[in-house]
Amino acid sequence: MAELKGINLAMQTPFEPNGAIDYGLFEELIEKYVSAGVHGLVLGAGTGQHPYLTESECNRLYELGAKRIAGRCNVVCQTSALNMDEVIRRSQQAESVGADALMILPPYLEGPSDEDGIFNFYKEIDAAVGVDIVGYNIPQATGIAVSPRLFDRLSGLKNFNYIKDSAGDFTVHQEYLQTRGRVLNGCDTTTLYALMAGARGVIWGAANYMPREAVELYNLVVAKDFERALALWQRMLPSLLFIWRAPYTPSVLRAAQLRGFGTGNVRKPLAKLSAEQDTALRAALTPLFEIAS
């Protein structure tokens, strides 16, 4: 079983202005994030615009990424797809190039939404791979909520050992923590409190623009230095509140660009922030620049 504790950075995919992937910059960003001390990199995450990447692009990103990371931190690859055979094919390919774990959405877009149907979906994948599966609870995007009861049932499978919880319902999050499974927080605005409550770690999009601060926050919680953790959190929070309510991925990528990580470009159909949104984001980031100065 992979140990996915700590900061698993949901890594951006850097794009050129025309929407092509900048693979050279992708490798440069890996170096920056590994140097910042992150415990894992999630390649092809939602923040990496997985829905708008082709299967071949994902395969290349995962192969390049695993090779560049070279065991210095965990490699998690998202292998979600609508077609069952494609999920398994993507998953086996990611495993073959060195993925430590696979992040997989439930069967969204008119797939089975009953608990038996979701369980059987993951059960088939579980039997086809030999690395950890990270289920993904993000009902605001998929329309499917993984109940704590279902998560506990899924945790009885051989490889289904984690769930990424991005729903933002802290009550459900704590119910997950009462099961036998391992929980990774995915809601930016509850990160500190999820870690304090016992989440094993996080899969964190906002870490793209504040990797060192994210690692520091985790280390402070582990050390039970909650006063300093809360002080750091207060400097993080304005930008986290902004990105959670604004267009998420364009906000994270723009924030990352402003702090020296990436191009800020998105791939269609996503669009960059408006001038008004950009001004508000800059204001929300001000406390983080004060930390760095």
Distance between CA atoms of residues 38 and 214, nearest Å = 8
Q: Which residues pair with 190 in a beta bridge?
A: none
φ/ψ (deg, to 5) at 72:
-75, -20
Report the distance separating Cα 189 and Cα 72, nearest Å: 28
The answer to whether residue 248 is catalytic is no
One-letter amino acid of 69: I
Of these residues, 164, 176, 209, 218, which one is catalytic? 164
Active-site residue flag, 193: no
Separation of alpha carbons 79 and 73, rounded Å: 19
Distance CA 112, CA 244 (A): 28
Alpha carbon distance 231, 113 (integer Å):
41
DSSP strand E in the chain: where?
6-10, 40-43, 74-78, 101-104, 132-137, 160-165, 182-185, 201-204
Q: Which of 33, 122, 136, 162 is catalytic?
A: 136
**Nearest 5°: phi and psi at 184?**
-120, 125
Q: Indicate the length of the chain as a whole number.
A: 293
Find the angle CA(108)-CA(58)-CA(252) to the nearest 5 degrees: 75
Active site residues: 136, 164
